[in-house]
Amino acid sequence: MIIIMSPNATKTQVEDVEKKLVGLGFQTHPIFGEIKTVIGAIGDKRLLNTHDISFMPGVENIVPIMKPYKLAGKELKKDPTIVKVGNVEIGGKEIVIMAGPCAIENEETYIGTAIKVKESGAKILRGGAFKPRTSPYAFQGLEEDGLKIMAKAKEATGLALVTEVVDTRDVDLVATYADIIQIGARNMQNFKLLHEVGLTKKPILLKRGLAATIEEWLMAAEYIMAAGNQNIILCERGIRTYETATRNTIDMGAIPVVKEFSHLPIIVDPSHATGSWKYVNALSKGAIATGADGLIIEVHSDPNNALCDGPQSLKPSKFDQLVSELKPVAQSVGRTL
């Protein structure tokens, strides 16, 4: 950690900061420039949570040197994490496709879609039983009834299930049905919920927050990991920017950045990232070529009548075509599908 003193900091102020740091167990290394003094401090920054020095007189700024995450970073674990869900491996050589409708609406449609996405090559079945909706008047999901339908679809297809939890009180219930528990974008900093799913040991699909930095995202992973659960799959789903041509702006650069700083696998959700099925094909290919470990794609057998997010859902036939077009792309970057 580097403490930058302001140009008019007094000698006493510099000494006071040093004393404080030494008292906290840091070694200090002041460097006196012509205009400003900076103090290098060696030690565990986490101690600083209880004794902030940035308010001390004469302090202009503090520059952290170490990343704030430990478990999610590469410091303690250098090799890539492979999350196992049954016999599916996420983060290995194979690209894993998760697919299904946004919300579970009824048994027939859901199982029908499930069978089709499996035939096309999906390995994980998605579906929402608890839906976080912007409007209180919008369809909020079938809740436990939805989970039961998911269970039947699993029985029918053998596909593992990924579904979202939005309330700490529902974590145990969702964990009973889900093979992967999803934390949605709006809950990425719902720290109590992160802690609670961290206690389950189930694989967690952690979506990036609407306007979260990559560092905050990895800190959200850290919450889950600090609670004891290391099985995390990150999911880039677009960030909020000024551009309105797409619903969100897909941050493809997050893929190599995450690969550089973390050992966790990362997949991409092109459906939510763009908000339009028309762009899903192009961006799915782009995500795989950029280095994503998988995709999660909305597929609905009748998007026209979907209760949620119809405009961004692919019809099963378009999804089937997409998967076949993705295969050569995966191969071109040394992956399988």
Nearest alpha-carbon partner for 19 in 34, 41, 38: 41
Among 80, 226, 320, 321, binds a copy of itself (CB under 8 A): 226
Nearer to a copy of itself, 160 or 234 (CB): 234
Does 245 contact a copy of itself by CB under 8 A? yes
The DSSP string of 263-307 is -S-EEE-HHHHHS-GGGHHHHHHHHHHHT-SEEEEEB-S-GGG-S
Nearer to a copy of itself, 50 or 87 (CB): 50
Nearer to a copy of itself, 160 or 185 (CB): 185
Is 319 buried (19+), middle (13-18) or exposed (0-12) by CB count in 10 A?
Answer: buried
Nearer to a copy of itself, 178 or 219 (CB): 219
Structure tokens at 91: 């983060």
Nearer to a copy of itself, 88 or 96 (CB): 96
Does 216 contact a copy of itself by CB under 8 A? yes
- Stretch near a copy of itself under the rule CB under 8 A, chosen from 39-47, 80-88, 116-124, 144-152: 39-47
Q: Please, which of residues 125-154 interact with a copy of itself by CB under 8 A?
A: 132-140
Does 54 contact a copy of itself by CB under 8 A? yes
Distance separating alpha carbons of residues 105 and 307, to the nearest angstrom:
7
Binding flags for a copy of itself, 158-197, as an x/- string (CB under 8 A):
--------xxxx----------------xx-xxxx--x--
Tokens 């969100």 correspond to 248
Q: Please, which of residues 72-131 interact with a copy of itself by CB under 8 A?
A: 75
Distance separating alpha carbons of residues 315 and 166, to the nearest angstrom:
27
Among 36, 77, 148, 318, binds a copy of itself (CB under 8 A): 36
Among 210, 318, 320, 321, binds a copy of itself (CB under 8 A): 210
Tokens 């551009």 correspond to 243
Nearest alpha-carbon partner for 158 in 97, 86, 93, 231: 86
Nearer to a copy of itself, 1 or 159 (CB): 1
Distance separating alpha carbons of residues 205 and 184, to the nearest angstrom:
8
